[in-house]
């Protein structure tokens, strides 16, 4: 953890922390029937409201107000900030006071960083303050935009969390914006993966805390474990009155979930929504370890189609009647877990899933003798995560690695449920409009599209569609050679680590110097992406890697036509494709983009209807398939959310005994 502001900052006393943390916080349930219909209607009405134009007009008034502060000296400006802070701390602010505060922070940003927020950034900041998701294109300055409502929230004194997608961005953004916050009398800190509990407690006691979605959710779960059965404020107060203290209260690090601004909101609130964050302990079982090893050997006797079938759409494997008969024969003389037919079938199916649906370089990599999960959306390694229900052990057995003990779940919560606990929530993203319906129905977050500061000059070419994947890669290499010969930089987005390495080999063969970005440290990732706009640079990256880092064009590149982006596959959601294309033509720069895809891509194999595949030589076909995939993913997220609601209602939370 790095504390960015005043080094003498003291953490809040434990009682102050747990009194605000110990609420019986439960996320709101999803409405049903007429309530759900009314919610959809309300969302439609809100979308029709002219929020964008209203925010832009108000932003123009705020810019006019800035002249009030430009005439002040630094001491006078600091005094004005102090008076406004007292106003917001006492909750006596009005719309006029809020506009004045935005104008003041804008002037502070100019004096401290040399950055004066322009109209569109202020409009985005107003949307965040009102609890919306602001869609702002790549390169439009979302970090500075967030600093305006974050300062206001810091003045209110209840804490503000700025959520980013990795530790590097949390530390970078906190350090970048610190001069603004310090001038306004605020304390700011950043939480890192290796932060100690005392450092975390101090960071959460700051006015503004930068952290990742994983760290803040894990801290929430650890605090819930520390509370044990004292789930409500009432029970904790009774314990304090009765015993003079509450067991576990001194271990708490958070002081409540008041307000959060989520950067890359579509990734955190949609793509990772149903990912459960679990705190677990080891539950060693030698019998299970041996069973996974045996299953990995036995599956070699099972033949595809004859003994089992693979459903790529639902990502599952089913045994046929012949497969079940073969399993009965194989387990006839075995004991232990193989004695029961249901458990033995689970072991074999899990081993088949590991073999058929999880491939090295795509879903995982092997590092230092361990299976490390690869985030399929970003291509980043996730060494702190494991698959559940024995899948991780099945993959370890497939790779002939040491099998890690199974885990015993102590506490769990999905990101979807966790972020619904905040009293106030806002978000930013370059791609949110496609998910506006879900963001409203799940989180009550309207989406406001903020126009670009300068006209967008991105030119998107017609999709190039090929029958075979091999033909697609040949076309990609030809396209890279053609653009590279002009001196323009090229950014190629791949879906997986395996695909990026395959393309890298082909580029090496034809003699094109290039950089490969897949599942590396975030600092290195940001540096590589930041240089991707230099003349003659060729960068191969898993889609969305380096997200949060601007690609600025090198000298003379704009005159050549700007950055050229190539997508090598369509994703299950068009938001990811649009995020990749948005890398080009930032801040009014020129740029071009093209998708070179094939009918053998995973999107088509998993989600396209069989009868429709024969007509798949058009972009409309891929768009329709994407919509099917998005609808299926949305239904899955709603189903998981309803399951979470049921578990919350019927199962009590309890810490382990002892």
CATH value at residue 359:
3.90.1440.10
Same domain, 319 and 232: no
Q: How far apart are the first and last CA of the chain?
A: 30
Which domain CATH number covers 606?
3.40.50.300
**Maximum mean pLDDT: which of 41-50, 103-112, 138-147, 249-258:** 103-112
The pLDDT of residue 201: 92
**In a domain? residue 92:** no
Task: Write down the mean pLDDT value for the chain.
Answer: 83
Closest CA to 380 of 177, 514, 214: 214
Query: Rounded to whole angstroms, what are the CA distances from 60 to 94, 144, 228?
Result: 18, 17, 51
Asked whether residue 622 is domain-assigned, the answer is yes
Residue 237 has pLDDT above 90, yes or no: no
Based on the fold, state whether residues 181 and 42 are members of the same structural domain: yes
Q: Are the beta carbons of 449 and 430 closer than 8 angstroms?
A: no
Shared domain check, 218 and 167: yes
**In a shared domain, residues 437 and 485:** no
Q: What is the pLDDT of residue 506?
A: 95
- Give the DSSP H/E element, type plus range, for residue 409: strand 407-414
What tokens were used for 239? 């314990």
pLDDT, greater one: 623 or 109:
109
Average confidence (pLDDT) over 519-547: 74
Task: Looking at the structure, tell me whether residues 425 and 526 fall in a common domain.
Answer: no
**Structural domain of 135:** 13-47+131-278+415-449
Same domain assignment for residues 259 and 294: no
Asked which of 209-218, 341-350, 417-426 is least confident by mean pLDDT, the reply is: 341-350
My answer on whether 426 and 489 are in the same domain is no
Task: Name the more confident of 345 and 248.
Answer: 345
What pLDDT does 654 receive? 40
Sorted by sequence, the CB contacts under 8 Å of residue 600 that are 6+ apart come out as 467, 468, 469
Backbone angles phi, psi at 58, to 5 degrees: -65, -35
User: Does residue 60 fall inside a structural domain?
Assistant: no
Over 60: is that where the pLDDT of 233 sits? no
Residue 18 has pLDDT above 80, yes or no: no
Confidence (pLDDT) at 150: 97
Report yes or no on 100 lying in a domain.
no
The reported pTM is: 0.81
Q: How many separate domains does the chain show?
A: 3
Give 176's pLDDT tier (boundaries 50, 70, 90): very high
Which domain-ending residue is among 377, 405, 433?
405
Q: Verify that 399 and 355 share a domain, yes or no.
A: yes
Q: Please check whether residue 81 lies inside any domain of the structure.
A: no
Give me the pLDDT at residue 282, please: 65
Same domain, 394 and 420: no
> Do 433 and 326 belong to one domain?
no
Residues 240 and 258 in one domain: yes
């Amino acid at each position: 953890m790095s504390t960015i502001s005043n080094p003498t900052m003291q953490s809040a006393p434990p009682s102050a922390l747990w009194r605000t943390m110990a609420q019986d916080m439960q996320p709101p349930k999803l409405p049903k029937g007429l309530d759900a219909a009314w919610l959809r209607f309300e969302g439609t009405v809100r979308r029709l409201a002219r929020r964008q134009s209203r925010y832009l007009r108000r932003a123009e008034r705020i810019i006019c107000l800035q002249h009030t502060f430009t005439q002040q000296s630094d001491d006078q400006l600091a005094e004005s900030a102090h008076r406004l802070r007292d106003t917001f701390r006492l909750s006596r602010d009005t719309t006029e006071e809020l506009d004045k505060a935005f104008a003041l922070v804008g002037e502070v940003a100019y004096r401290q960083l040399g950055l004066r927020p322009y109209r569109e950034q202020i409009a985005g900041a107003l949307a965040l303050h009102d609890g919306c998701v602001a869609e702002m294109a790549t390169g439009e300055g979302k970090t500075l935009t967030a600093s305006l409502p974050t300062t206001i929230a810091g003045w209110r004194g209840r804490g503000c969390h700025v959520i980013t997608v990795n530790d590097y961005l949390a530390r970078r953004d906190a350090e970048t914006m610190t001069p603004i916050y310090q001038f306004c009398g605020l304390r700011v800190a950043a939480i890192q993966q290796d932060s100690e509990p005392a450092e975390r407690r101090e960071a959460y006691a700051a006015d503004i805390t930068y952290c990742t979605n994983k760290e803040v959710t894990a801290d929430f779960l650890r605090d819930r474990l520390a509370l044990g059965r004292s789930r409500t404020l009432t029970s904790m107060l009774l314990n304090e009155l009765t015993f003079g203290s509450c067991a576990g209260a001194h271990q708490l690090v958070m002081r409540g979930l008041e307000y959060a601004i989520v950067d890359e909101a579509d990734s955190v609130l949609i793509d990772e929504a149903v990912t459960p964050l679990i705190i677990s302990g080891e539950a060693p079982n030698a019998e299970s370890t041996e069973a996974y090893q045996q299953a990995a050997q036995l599956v070699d006797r099972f033949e595809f189609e004859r003994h089992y079938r693979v459903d790529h759409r639902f990502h599952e494997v089913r045994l046929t009647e012949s497969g079940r008969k073969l399993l009965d024969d194989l387990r006839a003389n075995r004991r232990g877990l193989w004695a029961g037919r249901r458990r033995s079938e689970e072991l074999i199916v899990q081993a088949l899933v590991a073999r058929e649906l999880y491939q090295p370089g795509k879903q995982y990599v092997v590092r230092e003798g361990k299976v490390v999960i690869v985030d399929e959306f970003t291509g980043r390694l996730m060494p702190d995560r494991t698959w559940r229900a024995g899948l991780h052990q099945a993959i370890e057995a497939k790779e002939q690695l040491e099998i890690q003990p199974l885990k015993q779940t102590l506490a769990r919560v999905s990101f979807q449920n966790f972020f619904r606990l905040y009293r106030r929530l806002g978000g930013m993203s370059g791609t949110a409009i496609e998910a506006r319906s879900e963001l409203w129905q799940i989180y009550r977050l309207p989406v406001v599209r903020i126009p670009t500061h300068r006209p967008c000059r991105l030119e998107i070419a017609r999709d190039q569609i090929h029958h075979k994947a091999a033909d697609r890669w040949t076309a990609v290499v030809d396209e890279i050679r053609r653009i590279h010969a002009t001196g323009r930089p090229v950014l190629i987005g791949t879906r997986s680590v395996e695909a990026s390495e395959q393309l890298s080999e082909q580029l090496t063969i034809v003699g094109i110097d290039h950089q490969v970005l897949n599942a590396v440290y975030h600092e290195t990732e940001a540096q590589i992406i930041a240089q991707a706009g230099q003349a003659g640079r060729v960068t191969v990256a898993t889609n969305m890697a380096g997200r949060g880092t601007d690609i600025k064009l090198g000298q003379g590149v704009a005159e050549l036509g700007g950055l050229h982006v190539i997508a090598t596959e369509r994703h299950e959601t068009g938001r990811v494709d649009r995020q990749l294309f948005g890398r080009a033509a930032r801040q009014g720069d020129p740029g071009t983009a093209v998708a070179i895809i094939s009918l053998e891509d995973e999107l088509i194999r998993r989600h396209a209807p069989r009868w429709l595949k024969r007509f798949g030589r058009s972009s409309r076909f891929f768009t329709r398939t994407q919509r099917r995939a998005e609808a299926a993913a949305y239904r899955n997220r709603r189903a998981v959310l309803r399951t979470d609601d049921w578990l919350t209602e019927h199962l009590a939370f309890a810490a382990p005994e002892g």
